[in-house]
């Protein structure tokens, strides 16, 4: 078994790393870098969950976030019309609102941390948290879990229906011809109907 | 030596990965020659990878205009580290494992999901068009192979009733998963080729993009990248041998020998596929993955689950 001193050092390393990475999300000037600093922050949180013996949840967090942050970066690049996301751009906007919200969020969380009466019940080391989680998800919490799952599935099918090549806005290749180089470009091919 | 001690872990994982990468390089030269010329010169195949590596190491590192230098340098390290983490979960013999943890197959999945981050960063951070296109190609590829990969691994974990790789190996004592779940290994190898952007699925670093994410990389960092990519292929083969071919179990020979033999068979299959199967256009693979491979993988999960009940 790992000694508790090692666990303490690892805990502080991953906590500090997560906080610094989360701060760097807003200090960098690129959407891709911001997305991957956020991933680094999540990976630190995943490591903390592993240290708390929630191994499955911690690993799944890293597994899901690796793909999700990449997809988020691609979507941000697509929406921002910033070719490839290579151009520098600021990651902070609405400074006054952001500052007020930040101060309130920090004060609220700090208050909870100082005032809350955290439970002190050491869990039985012989219990398997992964199988407990499985029984919970397919037992008492099944309705909540399945409702969220089916809702997300419906959202995904809807997104595919909108975005697919033969989607509700017509064929994706129609009307997407590049503009000509003259002063006044003619109607792009495929727009006449 | 205890394999879970820091020194033992480094020796075991680094040994497996380096030996595997060299075997891949030799097989690549030998099978390539066999395919093209109909004969193989073993001595040439044994030397060629070393010569090429030495030549690459002496090449001057290339530079681009305003790259993301840190991400560019760290991408090969991330790729190699994820391959090492994946190998660490696999027992290579009875009790010879660095970290045969209770959620080993999930750890493997998490490490392999980070491959997407490493490849995309490698392409993006060069600040150059061809590598960037390679990075985007890999995202499309990864989003297509990840579901079949995850599903066949879940199916393999069902008879073991455990997510530990050691338990999955032990569950194949009477019957290997390659027989029990005939859909598993072929789907796994297709996904594995995508994972290492290898063989017919190597479009992310493909020659049609002047090398894709490697188009602007030369010198030692090119060596690091090519090594890390082969490490991923080795990790795929090691995990495939453990999960589908019964791992270290087998008559007469000791466990590690069986493991090495089975890994070698899978590596030879993957390298052979790279030389015999034509490169697949990415749009076509995405359609096939979502309409054929994922439904097949789902059938694999449902049938395996029904049998395990």
**pLDDT, tens only, B160-209:** 988 999 999 999 988 898 888 999 999 999 999 999 999 899 988 888 88
Is residue A178 one of the residues assigned to a domain? no
Enter the ipTM: 0.89
Domain count along chain A: 2
Structural domain for A154, as ranges: 128-169
Q: How far apart are CA B83 and CA B232, in angstroms?
A: 5
Q: Tens digit of pLDDT for each residue in A99-123?
A: 999 999 999 999 999 999 888 887 7
Angle of helix A31-51 versus helix A55-80 axis, rounded to 10 = 170
CB contact at 8 A, B145 and B157: no
B window 131-170, beta carbon within 8 A of A: 132, 136, 139, 142-143, 146, 163
Residue B67 is predicted with a pLDDT of 87
Cβ neighbour number for residue A33 with a 10 Å cutoff: 23
Q: How far apart are CA A31 and CA A29, in angstroms?
A: 7
Please indicate, yes or no, whether residues A83 and A132 belong to a single structural domain of this protein. no
Which residue in this structure is represented by tokens 């075991």? B12
**Partner A contacted by B99 (CB < 8 A):** no
Is residue A138 one of the residues assigned to a domain? yes
Residue A192 is predicted with a pLDDT of 47
Q: How far apart are CA B7 and CA B1, in angstroms?
A: 9
Please indicate, yes or no, whether residues A70 and A138 belong to a single structural domain of this protein. no
Domain ranges of chain B: 6-308
- In 3D space, the residue among B104, B77, B110, B88 whose CA is nearest the CA of residue B6 turns out to be B88
**CB B71 to CB A60 under 8 A?**
no
Q: Tens digit of pLDDT for each residue in A3-27?
A: 678 888 999 999 999 999 999 998 8
Residue A75 is predicted with a pLDDT of 84
B144: left (phi over 0), alpha (psi -120 to 50) or beta: alpha
- In 3D space, the residue among B241, B158, B225, B159 whose CA is nearest the CA of residue B192 turns out to be B241
**CB B71 to CB A33 under 8 A?**
yes
Alpha helices (H) in B176-278, listed in sequence order: 177-180, 184-195, 220-244, 255-276
Q: Tens digit of pLDDT for each residue in A138-193?
A: 888 899 999 999 999 999 888 877 777 665 666 766 665 555 666 655 555 554 44
Please indicate, yes or no, whether residues A64 and A133 belong to a single structural domain of this protein. no
Q: How far apart are CA B271 and CA B73, in angstroms?
A: 27
Furthest-apart CA atoms within chain A: distance in Å: 75
Residue B98 is predicted with a pLDDT of 85
Nearest CA in chain A to B66: A86
Of B71, B102, B110, the CB nearest to A62: B110
Please indicate, yes or no, whether residues A79 and A133 belong to a single structural domain of this protein. no
User: How would you write A151-177 as a 3-class SS string?
Assistant: HHHHHHHHHHHHHCCEECCEECCCCCC
Of B101, B102, B113, the CB nearest to A67: B113
The answer to whether residue B302 scores a pLDDT higher than 80 is yes
Q: Tens digit of pLDDT for each residue in B84-101?
A: 999 999 998 887 888 888
* CATH code (residue A77): 1.20.120.1200
Q: Rounded to 5 degrees, what are φ and ψ at A171?
A: -65, 135
Residue A155 is predicted with a pLDDT of 94
Chain B residues with CB under 8 Å of A67 CB are 113, 116, 142-143, 146
Beta bridge partners of A167: A170
Chain A residues with CB under 8 Å of B128 CB are none
Residue A1 is predicted with a pLDDT of 47
Mean pLDDT calculated for residue range B234-257: 91
Of B68, B102, B114, the CB nearest to A55: B102
Of B102, B103, B117, the CB nearest to A66: B117
Is residue A94 one of the residues assigned to a domain? no
Please give the mean pLDDT across all residues of chain B. 91
A window 44-63, beta carbon within 8 A of B: 55-56, 59-60, 62-63
Inter-CA distances, B199 with A60, B59, B68, B118, Å: 29, 26, 29, 19
Question: Mean pLDDT lowest for which of A89-93, B140-144, B225-229, B241-245?
Answer: A89-93
Is residue A116 one of the residues assigned to a domain? no
Tokens representing residue A46 in the block: 């995943």
- Percentage of residues in chain B having pLDDT higher than 70: 100
Please indicate, yes or no, whether residues A133 and A80 belong to a single structural domain of this protein. no
CA distance A59 to chain B (A): 6
Residue A23 is predicted with a pLDDT of 93
Residue A189 is predicted with a pLDDT of 55
- In 3D space, the residue among B24, B87, B100 whose CA is nearest the CA of residue B273 turns out to be B24
Q: How far apart are CA B98 and CA B6, in angstroms?
A: 9
Is residue A193 one of the residues assigned to a domain? no
Please indicate, yes or no, whether residues A65 and A147 belong to a single structural domain of this protein. no
Q: Rounded to 5 degrees, what are φ and ψ at B96?
A: -100, 85
Q: Tens digit of pLDDT for each residue in B27-86?
A: 999 988 888 888 878 888 899 999 999 999 999 888 888 888 899 999 999 999 999 999
The Cα angle at residue B127 between residues B123 and B131, in degrees rounded to 5: 30
**Partner A contacted by B124 (CB < 8 A):** yes
Confidence of residue A86 (pLDDT cuts 50, 70, 90): low
Mean pLDDT calculated for residue range B216-245: 94
**CB A69 to CB B117 under 8 A?**
yes
The answer to whether residue A126 scores a pLDDT higher than 80 is no
Residue A133 is predicted with a pLDDT of 87
Please indicate, yes or no, whether residues A133 and A76 belong to a single structural domain of this protein. no
User: What does the DSSP assignment read for B33-84?
Assistant: HHHHHS---HHHHHHHHHHHHHHHHHSPPP--SS--HHHHHHHHHHHHHHHH
Is residue A46 one of the residues assigned to a domain? yes
CB contact at 8 A, B148 and B289: yes
Which residue in this structure is represented by tokens 């398997």? A128
Three-state secondary-structure class, residue B183: coil
Beta bridge partners of B93: B96
Is residue A112 one of the residues assigned to a domain? no
Inter-CA distances, B218 with A130, B70, B80, Å: 45, 16, 17
Is residue A62 one of the residues assigned to a domain? yes
Residue A125 is predicted with a pLDDT of 73
Nearest CA in chain B to A63: B110
- In 3D space, the residue among B71, B48, B11, B111 whose CA is nearest the CA of residue B213 turns out to be B71
Confidence of residue A62 (pLDDT cuts 50, 70, 90): very high
């Amino acid at each position: 078994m790992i000694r508790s001193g090692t666990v303490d050092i690892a805990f502080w390393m991953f906590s500090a790393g997560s906080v610094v990475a989360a701060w760097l999300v807003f200090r960098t000037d690129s959407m891709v870098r911001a997305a991957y600093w956020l991933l680094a922050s999540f990976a630190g949180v995943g490591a903390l969950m592993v240290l708390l013996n929630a191994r499955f949840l911690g690993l799944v967090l890293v597994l899901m976030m690796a793909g999700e942050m990449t997809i988020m970066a691609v979507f941000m690049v697509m929406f921002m019309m910033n070719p490839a996301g290579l151009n520098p751009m600021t990651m902070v906007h609405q400074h006054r609102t952001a500052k007020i919200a930040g101060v309130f969020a920090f004060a609220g969380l700090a208050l909870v941390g100082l005032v809350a009466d955290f439970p002190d019940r050491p869990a039985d080391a012989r219990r398997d948290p992964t199988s407990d989680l499985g029984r919970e998800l397919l037992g008492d919490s099944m309705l909540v879990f399945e409702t969220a799952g089916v809702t997300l599935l419906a959202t995904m099918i809807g997104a595919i229906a909108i975005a697919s090549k033969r989607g509700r806005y017509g064929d994706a290749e129609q009307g997407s011809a590049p503009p000509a180089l003259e002063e006044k470009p003619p109607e792009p091919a495929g727009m006449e109907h | 030596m205890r394999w879970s001690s820091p020194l033992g872990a480094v020796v075991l994982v680094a040994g497996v990965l380096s030996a595997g990468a060299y075997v891949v390089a030799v097989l690549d030269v030998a099978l390539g020659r066999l395919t093209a010329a109909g004969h193989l010169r073993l001595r040439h195949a044994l030397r060629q990878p070393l010569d090429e590596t030495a030549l690459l190491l002496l090449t001057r590192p290339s530079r681009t205009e305003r790259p993301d230098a840190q991400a560019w340098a760290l991408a090969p390290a991330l790729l190699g580290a994820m391959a090492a983490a994946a190998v660490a979960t696999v027992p290579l013999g009875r009790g010879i494992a660095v970290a045969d943890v209770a959620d080993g197959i999930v750890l493997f999945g998490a490490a392999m999901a980070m491959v997407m981050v490493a490849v995309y960063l490698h392409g993006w951070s060069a600040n150059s068009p061809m590598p960037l296109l390679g990075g985007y190609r890999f995202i499309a590829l990864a989003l297509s192979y990840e579901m079949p990969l995850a599903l066949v691994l879940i199916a393999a974990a069902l008879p073991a009733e455990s997510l530990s790789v050691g338990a999955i190996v032990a569950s194949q004592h009477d019957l290997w998963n390659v027989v029990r779940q005939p859909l598993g290994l072929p789907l796994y190898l297709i996904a594995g080729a995508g994972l290492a952007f290898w063989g017919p699925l190597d479009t992310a670093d493909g020659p049609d993009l002047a090398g894709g994410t490697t188009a602007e990389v030369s010198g030692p960092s090119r060596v690091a990248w090519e090594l890390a990519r082969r490490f991923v292929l080795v990790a795929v083969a090691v995990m495939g041998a453990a999960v589908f071919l019964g791992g270290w179990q087998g008559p007469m020979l000791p466990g590690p020998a069986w493991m090495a033999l089975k890994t070698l068979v899978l590596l030879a299959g993957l390298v052979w596929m790279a030389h015999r199967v034509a490169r697949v256009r990415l749009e076509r693979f995405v359609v096939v993955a979502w309409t054929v491979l994922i439904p097949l993988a789902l059938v694999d999960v449902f049938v395996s689950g029904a049998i395990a009940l």
